[in-house]
């Protein structure tokens, strides 16, 4: 993408309403724009990251056997009356009437609708297990929308719903999501700690929140330090085998959010391993059995021919919130520092003297070579002064910068800067182009 043809409305000033780094930087880097309290437009740069995050979530869901569909944002109130949640949900639910005075709502979550879809066609245990998910906008009329996309009113969620014939297979479904979540967050460069959590309006008695530790997090959390650096299980697990040992390794040590905190149990953790911190909840998984299937009559016949309510769980990832969490974990005073996996572009190509034939030609060659290698570049071909170009590139945080100027080029060189380490190196343009060409010839390993 050429910056001269892109839409990147960066802000020079720090917006006064933004209290935390991620909110400030998303506004300043021209990623989002607030349209109403807790409601944001996703500008092109922000949207590119959102799509990358979404894609990682999607790939890890599919790997764990979940199947994507797409449910609407608007739902009939009558559906929610079947589960009893229409009245129970309270003022967080946005209630709407259509021209026929039919009561609708903008979905804050989708347990009822997915139960309605599954009950219409699933009849037997042979149709199970089933895990259906979508990535869709939600609306919750939060009392205190704040911190930008961290606590929005409209936000993008991945929500998956599992259906099983008995409790044992439902727990296996829960474990698959537990492991998939660890892999998902790890691919984004995040260390997520699963913690026992309160189930709130979703219900059930088994639930874990996945927490990213950050000083600006909204939740107080307490955990054993060893959980923080425990590596993710990775994709090479026996997905439909027994994952209990992997889960136990992470649930055997103390970890709880404030609502579930047991100070006496925490005292049992060796003192040097006790961690009281703040965290951001990026995912939340629930096992709630028959809570929706029993009142909504979603049943299937077991091997004995007897019909029983389906055993259900639901599994949420805060897709839009993740952008905030990733930035909280990856930034400095100059701006964002994107992990490669979610970067809006891989390389920022800076032409220090557009109009200079040598600079223009070198940049065009580099730009083509970057794309031929399977990476993406944002090419700053504008006539801004160098200082402003450097500041903007640091602000938007692309992992690598390639800086092309007349002085270096006179000797055949360009400068490469690593945004995270700040390391700079001078390299011959031809060597850089050759390196990119070698990358292009390396076969890519497919994601799944
Ligand atoms: N139905 C279940 C799981 S599918 C559910 O709704 N769970 S939840 O309420 O915990 O939400 C799932 C995830 O969405 C949370 O872990 C959080 O990361 C994200 N989320 C929840 N509320 C907001 C909000 N107001 N703004 C941004 N993200 C949110």
Residue identifier of the C-alpha nearest atom 29 of ligand 1: 318
On whether both 285 and 381 belong to a single domain, the answer is: no
- Does residue 182 sit within a domain? yes
- Does residue 447 sit within a domain? no
On whether both 351 and 292 belong to a single domain, the answer is: no
On whether both 324 and 374 belong to a single domain, the answer is: no
On whether both 273 and 413 belong to a single domain, the answer is: no
Query: Cα of 12 to ligand 1 centre, how many Å?
Result: 32
On whether both 290 and 232 belong to a single domain, the answer is: yes
- For residue 197, the model assigns a pLDDT of 86
On whether both 420 and 351 belong to a single domain, the answer is: yes
On whether both 331 and 429 belong to a single domain, the answer is: no
- Does residue 446 sit within a domain? no
- For residue 220, the model assigns a pLDDT of 94
- Does residue 314 sit within a domain? yes
What CATH code is carried by the domain that includes residue 366?
Answer: 3.40.50.800
Residue identifier of the C-alpha nearest atom 20 of ligand 1: 318
pLDDT bracket for residue 440 (50, 70, 90): confident
Residue identifier of the C-alpha nearest atom 19 of ligand 1: 318
Residue identifier of the C-alpha nearest atom 2 of ligand 1: 316
pLDDT tens for each residue of 404-432: 999 999 999 999 999 999 999 999 999 99
Whether the bond between 129 and the residue before it is cis, its omega within 30 degrees of 0, is yes
Query: Cα of 1 to ligand 1 centre, how many Å?
Result: 33
- Does residue 170 sit within a domain? yes
On whether both 89 and 111 belong to a single domain, the answer is: yes
pLDDT tens for each residue of 133-169: 999 999 999 999 999 999 999 999 999 999 999 999 9
pLDDT tens for each residue of 107-117: 999 999 999 99
On whether both 210 and 169 belong to a single domain, the answer is: yes
Residue identifier of the C-alpha nearest atom 1 of ligand 1: 109
What CATH code is carried by the domain that includes residue 304?
Answer: 3.30.930.10
Last residue of a domain, one of 335, 354, 373: 335
Q: How many domains does the chain have?
A: 2
pLDDT bracket for residue 446 (50, 70, 90): low
Query: Cα of 440 to ligand 1 centre, how many Å?
Result: 39
Query: Cα of 377 to ligand 1 centre, how many Å?
Result: 33
For the CA of 280, the closest atom of ligand 1 is 18
Average pLDDT, the chain: 95
pLDDT bracket for residue 15 (50, 70, 90): confident
- For residue 448, the model assigns a pLDDT of 47
Query: Cα of 281 to ligand 1 centre, how many Å?
Result: 8
- For residue 441, the model assigns a pLDDT of 81
pLDDT of 205 strictly over 80: no
Mutate to test the pocket of ligand 1, among 114, 177, 321, 325 (most ligand atoms within 8 A of CB): 321
On whether both 238 and 266 belong to a single domain, the answer is: yes
Mutate to test the pocket of ligand 1, among 318, 319, 323 (most ligand atoms within 8 A of CB): 318
- Does residue 448 sit within a domain? no
Last residue of a domain, one of 305, 335, 365: 335
Q: Which domain holds residue 381?
A: 345-440
- Does residue 360 sit within a domain? yes
Pocket of ligand 1 (CB under 6 A): 109, 111, 140, 142, 151-152, 155, 157, 159, 202, 281-284, 286, 314-316, 318, 320-321
On whether both 310 and 397 belong to a single domain, the answer is: no
Query: Which region among 188-202, 226-240, 424-438 has the lowest average model confidence (pLDDT)?
Result: 188-202
- For residue 204, the model assigns a pLDDT of 75
For the CA of 283, the closest atom of ligand 1 is 16
Of the candidates 137, 165, 166, 164, the one whose C-alpha atom is nearest the C-alpha of residue 152 is: 137
Across residues 383-397, what is the average pLDDT? Answer: 97
Query: Are the CB atoms for 226 and 288 separated by under 8 Å?
Result: no
pLDDT bracket for residue 200 (50, 70, 90): confident
Last residue of a domain, one of 301, 335, 369: 335
- Does residue 445 sit within a domain? no
Query: Cα of 226 to ligand 1 centre, how many Å?
Result: 26
pLDDT bracket for residue 187 (50, 70, 90): very high
On whether both 355 and 284 belong to a single domain, the answer is: no
């Amino acid at each position: 993408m050429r910056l001269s043809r892109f839409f990147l409305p960066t802000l020079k000033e720090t917006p006064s309403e933004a209290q935390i780094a991620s909110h400030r930087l998303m506004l300043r880097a021209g990623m989002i724009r607030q349209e109403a309290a807790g409601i944001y437009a996703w500008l092109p740069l922000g949207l590119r990251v959102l799509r990358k995050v979404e894609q990682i979530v999607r790939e890890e869901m599919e790997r764990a056997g979940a199947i994507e569909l797409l449910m609407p944002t608007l739902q009939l109130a009558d559906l929610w009356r079947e589960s009893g949640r229409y009245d129970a949900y309270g003022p967080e639910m946005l209630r709407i009437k259509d021209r026929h005075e039919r009561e609708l709502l903008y979905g804050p979550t989708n347990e009822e609708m997915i139960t309605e879809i599954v009950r219409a066609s699933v009849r037997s245990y042979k149709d199970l297990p089933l895990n259906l998910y979508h990535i869709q906008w939600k609306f919750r009329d939060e009392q205190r929308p704040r911190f930008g996309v961290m606590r929005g009113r409209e936000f993008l969620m991945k929500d998956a719903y599992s259906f099983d014939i008995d409790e044992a297979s439902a727990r296996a479904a829960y474990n698959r999501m537990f492991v998939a979540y660890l892999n998902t967050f790890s691919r984004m460069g995040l260390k997520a700690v699963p913690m026992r959590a309160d189930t709130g309006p979703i219900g059930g008695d088994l639930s874990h929140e996945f927490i990213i530790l950050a000083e600006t997090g909204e939740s107080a959390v307490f955990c054993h330090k060893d959980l923080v650096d425990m590596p993710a299980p990775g994709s090479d697990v026996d997905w439909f085998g027994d994952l209990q040992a992997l889960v136990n390794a992470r649930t055997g040590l103390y970890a709880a959010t404030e609502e579930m905190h047991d100070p006496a149990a925490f005292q049992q953790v060796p003192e040097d391993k006790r961690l009281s911190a703040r965290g951001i909840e990026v995912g939340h998984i629930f096992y709630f059995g028959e809570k929706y299937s029993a009142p909504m009559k979603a049943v299937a016949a077991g091997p004995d021919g007897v019909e029983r309510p389906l055993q259900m769980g639901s599994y949420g990832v805060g897709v839009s919130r993740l952008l905030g969490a990733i930035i909280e974990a990856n930034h400095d005073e100059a701006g964002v520092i994107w992990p490669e996996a979610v970067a809006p572009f891989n390389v920022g190509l800076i032409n220090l003297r557009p109009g200079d034939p040598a600079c223009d030609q070198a940049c065009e060659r580099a730009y083509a070579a970057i794309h031929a290698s399977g990476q993406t570049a944002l090419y700053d071909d504008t006539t801004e002064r160098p200082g402003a170009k450097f500041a903007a590139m640091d602000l938007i945080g692309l992992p690598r910068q390639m800086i092309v100027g007349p002085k270096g080029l006179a000797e055949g060189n360009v400068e490469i800067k690593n945004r995270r380490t700040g390391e700079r190196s001078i390299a011959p343009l031809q060597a850089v182009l050759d390196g990119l060409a070698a990358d292009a010839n390396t076969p890519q390993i497919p994601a799944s």
